[in-house]
Amino acid sequence: MSTYLIGDVHGCYDELIALLAQVAFDPQRDQLWLTGDLVARGPDSLAVLRYVRELGDSVRLVLGNHDLHLLAVYAGISRNKPKDRLTPLLEADDADALINWLRRQPLLQVDEEKKLVMAHAGITPQWDMATAMACAREVESVLASDSYPLFLDAMYGDMPNNWTPALSGLARLRFSTNALTRMRYCFPNGQLDMIAKESPENAPPPLKPWFALPGPVAADYSIAFGHWASLEGKGTPEGIIALDTGCCWGGTLSLLRWEDRRWFTQPGRREPALSA
């Protein structure tokens, strides 16, 4: 059995299948970890969702910000942007089944045997593992409930951006969602900055990448994440694994085989960018 970790797929179905073929992935034997953002921007989000759903228990995934945005679009809360290329998925006969499956997926994966954690954006240094797990489960619970449209309507926004256990209600859920699916930079005290998207060498001071600040989770676990394509999988400390290498932007789709830490890549197709 092998464990394969793959970065943001973003609707790049052909590249996903080709990358899995490189390692002879066998869903009867192997396990696939996916960093989220399965959909949007790439050419075939529908095929990606169908394929991943069919993998059943052989896949462990987390939701990303684009996956949450798809849920909001389907619920009529957000606009379907042409650049996201979601229309075939939204109009598919099995869209209801796919959406209901997607909103019941986790935001955090933890493997105690491997001492491995995965979240789409990473783990804020303000959280210990117990807090990270509790906050993820709170968001997952509301997403799986009948009241999920209320949460989706309230999840957009950059505040609050500082963790305190006193946070409650929709404010707490919004912070947790941002920390797990949108975070890139933090202030030195761990407070989230939800604006900067530059590469770390161009980040405005005093901002630091979240993984540059010491945190209790990173001290005890390896952390795999996606979300940040401009890193190109580089520049992180040991034990922090950046998997998004920008396949949908003409970069590559990257896979890490956990057991021997060997990397595999599949080139993405370069396509003209679509306007918003």
Q: Considering the domain boundaries, does residue 10 fall inside one?
A: yes
Full pLDDT tens readout for the chain, 276 residues? 999 999 999 999 999 999 999 999 999 999 999 999 999 999 999 999 999 999 999 999 999 999 999 999 999 999 999 999 999 999 999 999 999 999 999 999 999 999 999 999 999 999 999 999 999 999 999 999 999 999 999 999 999 999 999 999 999 999 999 999 999 999 999 999 999 999 999 999 999 999 999 999 999 999 999 999 999 999 999 999 999 999 999 999 999 999 999 999 999 986 644 433
Confidence (pLDDT) at 269: 80
Nearest to 64 by CA among 88, 43, 82, 48: 48
Nearest to 127 by CA among 72, 182, 176: 176
**pTM of the complete model beyond 0.75:** yes
Rounded-to-integer distance, Cα 271 and Cα 276, Å: 15
What's the chain's length in residues?
276
Domain hosting 123: range is 3-267
How many domains is the chain built from?
A: 1
Q: Are 159 and 260 in contact (CB under 8 A)?
A: no
Q: What number of other Cβ atoms are within 10 A of residue 242's Cβ?
A: 24
Which CATH number does the domain housing residue 159 bear?
Answer: 3.60.21.10
Q: Considering the domain boundaries, does residue 272 fall inside one?
A: no
